Structure 1
């Protein structure tokens, strides 16, 4: 008959829990002494435990609440943002209009190039100039562009 060795498992679990509690207490003390802002996430990360484990420990929960309540002092309001001056806003508007004009010109040039290239392509097709058809040449199952389907 086997002996019941479960007391070894219980002892190991108790040692692990005591060690974890000690790490959490030490983390609470260290963060309290440094004066850093304390959140549950910081304390959990510092102690190497999960947040849910911290919340589940009644002996740490009160100290945890006290430390996080102290650290939740309101942060100073951000510096007041001043409006830009009228001259500054006018300058930005002028620059924006110039950029829009440049982009419109570029679009116009690109559309003219596209139209020219389409015209050249159409002229080449009309002149029956052999255009290399790499898609249909590499795939024999596709019908070539130059061949017309036979009428029925």
Structure 2
């Protein structure tokens, strides 16, 4: 009777499964870090696994879908998802920019009024000087 070597086969299959999983996770990370779109096909191709295998891994599938959705929201961004600004952060920055815009608009209005007054005074002084000269010439 032959010895039971099935444990070796089970161990080899387990190691192969862990290695395959590690390649898929690495492919996900590298695509995200490069700012490239994360798709099932892209991850499968880079990791050297089948799309059906990848689709059968619930956690990897969820991560691909999450990254794919995040990339759709910000397609022009080359930053990894974890480094992108949150919606709340972007909203605060927009509010700060609007507040600064209002402040600058008020300042601009004040400066325009100041300039208008200064130009008006300058014009009035010029007219006054011209009138004085004309009065001096007729005397």
Q: In structure 2, do the counterparts of structure 1 residues 66 and 45 end up closer, same or farther at CA, with 3 Å as the change threshold?
A: same
Are 2:25 and 1:25 aligned? Answer: yes
The alpha-carbon distance between structure 1 residues 75 and 18, as it changes in their structure 2 partners (threshold 3 A), is closer
Runs of 5+ unmatched residues, structure 2: 77-139
Q: Does 2:54 correspond to 1:54? A: yes
Deviation string 1:24-68 (CA, Å, 9 cap, x unpaired) is 000000011110112111111011111111110122121111011
Point out where structure 1 has 5 or more consecutive residues left out of the alignment: 77-152
Match of 1:90 in 2: none
Q: Distance in 2 between matches of 1:6 and 1:51?
A: 29
- Assess if the C-alpha contact under 8 Å between 1:31 and 1:38 holds in 2: yes
- RMSD (CA atoms): 1.8
Take 1:29 and 1:49, find their aligned partners in 2: how far apart are those partners? 15
Contact 1:40 1:68 survives alignment (8 Å): no
- What is the total number of aligned residue pairs between the two structures? 76
Counterparts of 1:100-139 in structure 2 under 5 Å?
Answer: none
SS in 2 for 1:2: coil
Residue 7 to residue 22, structure 1, CA distance change in 2 (3 Å): same
- Structure 1: how far apart are the matches of 2:38 and 2:65? 10
Quote the offset at 1:71 in angstroms.
2.2
Whole-Å separation in 1 of the counterparts to 2:23 and 2:50: 12
* Structure with the larger RCO, 1 or 2 (CA within 8 Å, 6+ apart): 2
Off by >3 Å, runs of 4+ in structure 1? 73-76
Deviation per CA, 1:93-126, whole angstroms, max 9, x where unpaired?
xxxxxxxxxxxxxxxxxxxxxxxxxxxxxxxxxx
- Match for residue 10 of structure 2? 10
Q: Under a length normalisation based on structure 1, what TM-score does the superposition of the two structures give?
A: 0.46
